[in-house]
Structure 1
């Protein structure tokens, strides 16, 4: 079972997913928080981000190149696609950027608020739009689920999407994390805090 003292790492086709929060570039994460794609978040003071990372399980998705491979018009992703892509495979980059010496770039992220034993709340899942359509979001959430399945005393895992229970995002989390919309039997209560954006 993963604990706060352990970090896991996965690698595939040059991409890396790491649970090491010290690898997460705060400025890149805050830039993503401030983007329209992450409508549920906003940039935070740097120290607040550090504290959130320290008190959470994090999965950073890193690219070996700072820019995605070039695509033709026929290969371009649908601009109406949601943040959570469900492509089946990761394509190897067809072109390497001259900036590849800068090291891996944060291109996706997921965070869990958890007691590490009985409860797991998934939040802040994203893949940068220019990297979507390559199966990276599916791989990222599959790595999250691998950790969830290592929690033998887990009572519940949860996430909130800003979409209906029949949405693409809901189907995505049902497929990869076995999550279903709660429709009867319990009431989930919530209070919006000052940091709420939707």
Structure 2
């Protein structure tokens, strides 16, 4: 784990919910290149054919606004709010947003490990991304984009970000077609 600063200019945030076992953060100190590469080796991350060299993946993660999903491996022994330490966490999900921090966002590499799916973590993760890129937080956001192959997810992303399908890409290397979704949520006329 490295403590490289995010390049987007956005302050790191931490989101928690009633279930104290999990949290989401954009603080780069929690990112685990090894955990992300381990996920990229699995079949459910269909858009990556093989893991990246660690220095390349590190540049990808730290050069973007990365929303990590984490599980506390050593929960706090008190009811008082405690800031988790990177040593006491396990990265179990990711949403990477390529952004300039004010006008453009491209959502990529979004996943939650299969073992942790079904706990609402994916919806929570995308909700944190949507809140970060809301009109209140990013009034000059002119474009948000993503690719997906899942029709069910197309409806979910449309609801969360207001994106719509604007193109299709045939990906024989993946054995599936992707749709390109885009929105201009806060565009000035």
TM-score by length of 2: 0.72
Task: Give 5+ residue unaligned stretches, structure 1.
Answer: 67-101
Which piece of structure 1 moves more, 3-12 or 14-23? 3-12
Residue of 111, 122, 129 corresponding to 1:137: 122
2:25 aligned residue: 18
The answer as to 2:165 corresponding to 1:181 is yes
Task: Give 5+ residue unaligned stretches, structure 2.
Answer: 1-6, 75-86, 175-189
Is the 1:142–1:177 contact (alpha carbons within 8 Å) kept by the matching residues of 2?
Answer: no
How big is the shift at 1:175?
2.0
More strand by proportion, 1 or 2?
2
User: What does 1:31-46 align with in structure 2 at a 5 Å threshold?
Assistant: 31-41=38-48, 42-46=50-54
Aligned pair count reads 150
Give the SS at the match of 1:53.
Answer: helix
List per-residue Cα deviations over 1:64-104 (Å, max 9, x = no partner).
Answer: 249xxxxxxxxxxxxxxxxxxxxxxxxxxxxxxxxxxx722
* Bigger relative contact order, structure 1 or 2 (CA pairs below 8 A, ≥6 apart): 1
- The CA distance in 1 between the partners of 2:118 and 2:159, in whole Å, is 17
How big is the shift at 1:52?
1.0
Residue of 138, 161, 165 corresponding to 2:148: 161
- The CA distance in 2 between the partners of 1:45 and 1:21, in whole Å, is 18
2:59 aligned residue: 51
2:138 aligned residue: 151
Give the SS at the match of 2:164.
Answer: coil
How big is the shift at 1:3?
4.8
The answer as to 2:68 corresponding to 1:60 is yes
